[in-house]
Amino acid sequence: MNGFIGVTIFAGSLPATRVAVVDFSPTFLTSARASFAAMLGLALLLVLRQPRPTATDVPSLAFTALGGVVGFPLLTALALQHITSAHSIIFLGLLPLCTASFAVIRGGEHPRPPFWLFSIAGAAFVGGYAVMGGVEASLKGDLLMLAAIIVCGLGYAEGARLSRALGGWQVISWSLLLSLPIMLPVALLSMPTSFNHVSAAAWIGLTYVSLFSMLLGFVFWYRGLAQGGIAAVGQLQLLQPFMGLGLASVLLNEKVNWMMLVTTIAAVLCVAGARKYAK
């Protein structure tokens, strides 16, 4: 349930980013959302008097920050300047496989062979939808999204591994705080000279990715990954593209067709199969 809530929150990230990047530069959007979330995370850490992470935790926190705080937000914001939100959302179908791979490399998990078959099948269904759906594509945008998925998978796996010791919301809060000395100056330097041109939709998008995508979503997500296993719970990400497409159809007036429904059913079946063989 925690993992599902996290996925649901993350589903709105790319549509919100697509709206925000119309009026904000990718650099400012990425650094501003991280800085705002870091200040909230710092307040939580101080109010609840959380102990500092040990020196051995810092490298893992750095990997988590690199993937979830800096890499994925920046790369997706850049990609959304070249491709539609629908096309970018479909790439999220590759995220469970990437997360599971890093769970094996960094988390010490060992899923059984059928797990990989179901994971690859789920990713293939989602990728096939991207090809058959006729959405607008761009090589540069696709490569940026692929890079975003790789760094995000690393950040998810590393953060989930560390959350078993520190706790889910503590991990993302410390990761955000670790990145603040870099993100805050970047936000100030890349800030628009005037905000008069910024639409209400862009402000809403920035608020959503700062509060929900950057902080609250990770609280549920890391807790779910720590409870149920990175590889197993990570398969819930296969549902995220279709949640995102549903939101995009409402926010951005994008068409939802029957292929989406068919692929959703196939993805759900792959999620069920992968979970069965995840441990």
User: What is residue 244's three-state secondary structure?
Assistant: helix
Please check whether residue 176 is in contact with residue 215, taking contact to mean a CB–CB distance below 8 angstroms: yes
Within the chain, what is the greatest distance between any pair of CA atoms? 55
Residue 167 confidence (pLDDT): 80
Q: What length is written for the chain?
A: 279
Rg (CA), the chain: 18
pLDDT, residue 255, reads: 67
- Residue 231, pLDDT above cutoff 60: yes
Q: Of 271, 250, 259, which is closest to residue 99 (Cα–Cα)? A: 271
> Dihedral sign, CA of 175, 177, 182, 183?
positive
Q: Which tens digit of pLDDT belongs to each residue from 149-190? A: 899 988 888 887 888 788 878 998 999 999 999 999 999 999
* 203: its two tokens: 């402000």
79 or 97: which leads in pLDDT = 79
| Whole-angstrom distance, CA of residue 103 vs CA of residue 101 | 5
What is d(CA 11, CA 248) in angstroms, rounded to the nearest whole number? 10
Identity of the residue numbered 30? T
pLDDT tens figures, 188-228: 999 999 999 999 999 999 999 999 999 999 888 888 887 88
Terminal-to-terminal C-alpha distance of the chain: 19
| pLDDT, tens only, 105-143 | 776 777 788 888 888 888 788 777 666 655 455 778 888
Output the pLDDT for position 21. Answer: 92
- Beta strands (DSSP E) in 93-251 are none
Give me the chain's average pLDDT, please. 85
- The pTM of the full predicted model, rounded to 2 decimals, is 0.81
Q: Is 13 in contact with 209 (CB distance < 8 Å)? A: yes
**50: how many CB neighbours lie within 10 A of its CB?**
15
**Whether the predicted pLDDT of 26 surpasses 70:** yes
Q: Which of 77-86, 160-169, 240-249, 269-278 has the lowest mean pLDDT?
A: 269-278
Q: What are the boundaries of each domain within the chain?
A: 2-276
